[in-house]
Amino acid sequence: MNDGAPFRKLSIIGGGAWGAALGNLAANNGVETTIWAREPEVAALINKRHENAVFLPGVKLNPALKATPALEDAGGGEAFLLVAPVQHSRAVMKALRPHARPDAPVALCSKGIEQSTGMFLSAVVAEVWPEAVPAVLSGPSFARDVAQGLPTAVTLACADEALAARWIATIGAPHFRLYYTDDVIGAEIGGAVKNVLAIAAGVVEGKGLGESAKAALIARGFAEFQRLGVALGARRETLAGLSGLGDLILTATSKQSRNMSLGFELGRGRSLHEVLAGRNNVSEGVETAPAVADIARRLGVETPICAAVADLVAGERSVDGLIADLLSRPFRAERE
């Protein structure tokens, strides 16, 4: 692909760990960058201490990075990175729209499915901000690793290759490598479903079921999201790439993942309510699990692991009962 020019002025909508890490990348590239942070104290900490001490403590950010708690003050970007939790993204986009260029490029960096509608974020954008041109940024990348300059590679999906080149110039870096695809839905599916499977992987670890069980879960989980992905029109190469298998491996095997560590606590016998009450950050898999189970049911695709996670977070079944069910499924051919 040809090189693109970076955007001159970027707005980042969402002041959590990921918004801060992405803002830092853009500011390091000389892009005038403003983060909208919902919490005024987060905006103040970024402006005064150059640190998001609430969601990404201990990491120094580029002093040129600015933040505001007023959404209208974040509307002036030439382009937008959307990094709010998925369940709040529709409301935030609606509120932002009157203050922003209607045809602005928007890169979707959050990972999940809107539970109330079963929609991926590209479909939500098409509804509430129809002139905006969407891209999807997804792949194995912990905000802390990226903000500390550790090597990372992710997928940037956009139907418009020239626009993708501009995104890559805006946030890319030698330690943050972006690989281009035009398979937007493929990139979205990986990021959403891996969070659900990471909860299951955490349960396996929390229950002490062993490394072999974990590997089996990842491989059979990958089979689920391939079946679902293909049914939704994704390409297999995307599902097997950074935004799919790559992110599944990272998230399902590291306790740095909020989804995996949440599953771990559930496996240890704590209730979802207890686990969530002790956290200020987002675990997208909790709301995405029922959405995945619904979509799969509607499409007639079998996703037993995702369905088990949906039942678990709904409080409808016990961990032990769900494990017993999964282990007593009939033997079958691996390709199915």
Ligand X SMILES: NC(=O)c1ccc[n+]([C@@H]2O[C@H](COP(=O)([O-])OP(=O)(O)OC[C@H]3O[C@@H](n4cnc5c(N)ncnc54)[C@H](O)[C@@H]3O)[C@@H](O)[C@H]2O)c1
Binding mask 91-120 for ligand G3P (x = CB under 6 A): --------------------x---------
**Which range of residues in 28-36, 232-240, 251-259, 299-307 is near ligand G3P by CB under 6 A?**
251-259
CA distance 4 to 2: 6
- Is residue 288 a contact residue for ligand G3P (CB under 6 A)? no
* CA angle in degrees (0–180, nearest 5) for 33-39-43: 35
* CA angle in degrees (0–180, nearest 5) for 314-318-322: 95
Q: Which residues within the stretch 75-104 sit at the binding site for ligand X (CB under 6 A)?
A: 83-86, 88, 92
CA distance 294 to 56: 33
Nearer to ligand X, 16 or 172 (CB): 16
Measured between alpha carbons, how far is residue 36 from residues 19, 47, 74, 333 in Å?
9, 12, 6, 50
Nearer to ligand G3P, 55 or 142 (CB): 142
CA distance 21 to 56: 8
**Which range of residues in 44-52, 119-127, 244-252, 325-333 is near ligand G3P by CB under 6 A?**
244-252
Contacts with ligand G3P by CB under 6 A: the residue count is 12
- Out of 48, 66, 94, 194, which one is annotated catalytic? 194
Q: How near is the Cβ of 310 to ligand X at its closest, in Å?
A: 18
- Is residue 18 a contact residue for ligand X (CB under 6 A)? yes
Judge whether 207 counts as a catalytic residue: no
CA distance 237 to 186: 9
Which amino acid belongs to residue 293?
Answer: A
19 is in an annotated binding site: yes
Q: What's the 3-state SS for 181-221?
A: ECCHHHHHHHHHHHHHHHHHHHHHHHCCCCHHHHHHHHHHH
Nearer to ligand G3P, 142 or 225 (CB): 142
- Is residue 122 a contact residue for ligand X (CB under 6 A)? no
- Is residue 243 a contact residue for ligand G3P (CB under 6 A)? no
Nearer to ligand G3P, 68 or 257 (CB): 257
- Is residue 140 a contact residue for ligand G3P (CB under 6 A)? yes
CA distance 169 to 211: 40
Contacts with ligand X by CB under 6 A: the residue count is 25
Which amino acid belongs to residue 288?
Answer: T
- Give the CA radius of gyration of the chain: 19
14 is in an annotated binding site: yes
18 is in an annotated binding site: yes
CA distance 217 to 201: 7
- Is residue 257 a contact residue for ligand G3P (CB under 6 A)? yes
318 and 325 Cβ atoms separated by less than 8 Å: no
Point out the annotated binding site.
14-19, 38, 111, 139, 141, 143, 194, 247, 257-259, 282, 284
Point out the annotated binding site for NADPH.
18, 38, 111, 143, 258, 282, 284
Give the footprint of ligand X on this chain (CB under 6 A). 14-19, 38-39, 55, 83-86, 88, 92, 109-112, 141-143, 281-282, 284
Active-site positions?
A: 194
